[in-house]
Amino acid sequence: MKKLVYLTLLIFLYSCNTSKGIFNQSEKNDFKVEFSGALKNMIHNGDLSAYANLNDYKNINHFYALGAIEELKGEILILDGISYISSVEENQLKIDNSFNHKASLLVNTVVQDWEEFDIHPKVRTYEDLEKCIATKAEQNNISMSEPFPFMIMGKIDSLSWHVINWPEGDNEHSHEKHINSGLHGTHKGADVQILGFYSNRHHAIFTHHTTNMHLHFISRDKSKTGHVDGLRLGNSMKLLLPK
């Protein structure tokens, strides 16, 4: 009888340890997010130099990235290996699909497959979206101790954006000046695709201190792209997380 009790106890302990091991493994994401440069270097030190060369990533399959061009002369968005580089020329938005650029800030990853989720209609604001993404990521075993990418797709109510065009010789940086420099506008009632990176541990690195997200968008017709400053979601929008 004692042997049976000991055997039962051993089986129970082994089961607990095994479950704990699986849980620990799930805390490590299968994908890897990398970053080059840092927002704090720009704002506090005025460092706008290049920390990454986009040509180094040109032939990587399923590559996703966002960031800012060297000297803050434009925005970077790369979706599944396709480059959308936005800049300002004569107060007009220009979009370049080449990789012939260097970046003062780049956040990037490789995602082979995405899993799609419906976003509840009550999720409307930027703050609502941030909470929704964190909840859904935890529910799907994405580790919150590491940064992770996501995408938003569908018809937004409104989206405010900018494409930075930093004046040469201006050495006084701030978040507000970065937003107001260059071209900006509001996109309303249109289909968009948004790439974002979420992290609660990289404030002043690739997210600003007031948010856990960094978002760039492109319109469905590919005529507009840039950094997302604010948004209000529409109905029937989708959230994509790494599968």
Q: What are the pLDDT digits (tens) for 47-93?
A: 999 999 999 999 999 999 999 999 999 999 999 999 999 999 999 99
Domain match, 85 and 160 both = yes
Average pLDDT over residues 9-31: 42
Residues 119, 213, single domain; the answer is yes
CA neighbours closer than 13 Å in the CB half-sphere of residue 163: 23
In angstroms, what CA-CA distances link 99 with 76, 107, 113? 10, 15, 23
Check whether residue 114 and residue 180 sit in a common domain.
yes
- Per the structure, the complete domain to which residue 1 belongs is given by 1-30
171 with 238, same domain?
yes
Give the whole-angstrom CA distance, residue 75 versus residue 216. Answer: 8
Confidence of residue 16 (pLDDT cuts 50, 70, 90): very low
Average model confidence (pLDDT) across the chain: 89
pLDDT band for position 44 (50/70/90)? Answer: confident
Whether 38 and 24 share a structural domain:
no
Pair 238, 143 in one domain: yes
- What is the three-state SS of 85-149? EEEEECCEEEEECCCCCEEEEEEEEECCCEEEEECCCCCCEHHHHHHHHHHHHHHCCCCCCCCEE
Residue 5: pLDDT above 80? Answer: no
Measured between alpha carbons, how far is 231 from 213 in angstroms, rounded to an integer? 13
81: exposed, middle or buried (Cβ count in 10 Å: 0-12, 13-18, 19+): middle
Residues 15 and 70 in one domain: no
Q: What pTM value is reported for the model?
A: 0.86
Residues 5 and 60 in one domain: no
User: Residues 104-126: pLDDT tens digits?
Assistant: 999 999 999 999 999 999 999 99
Percent of the chain with pLDDT over 90: 80
Q: Tokens standing for 114?
A: 């995405």
Total of domains in the chain: 2
Same domain, 108 and 182: yes
pLDDT at position 105: 98
Whether residues 181 and 117 share a domain: the answer is yes
pLDDT attached to residue 27: 55
Please tell me the predicted confidence (pLDDT) of residue 181. Answer: 85
Does one domain contain both 109 and 17? no
| pLDDT average, residue stretch 24-29 | 53
Average pLDDT, integer, range 191-205: 97
What's the CATH code of the domain at 160? Answer: 3.30.1330.80
SS (H, E, C) the chain: CHHHHHHHHHHHHHHHHHHHHHHHHHCCCCCCCEEECCHHHHHHHCCCCCCEEHHHHCCCCCEEEEEEEHHHCCEEEEECCEEEEEEEECCEEEEECCCCCEEEEEEEEECCCEEEEECCCCCCEHHHHHHHHHHHHHHCCCCCCCCEEEEEEEECCEEEEEECCCCCCCCCCCHHHHHHCCEEEEEECCEEEEEEEECCCCECCCECCCCCEEEEEEECCCCCEEEEEEEECCCCCEEEEEC
Contact 226, 217 (CB under 8 A): yes
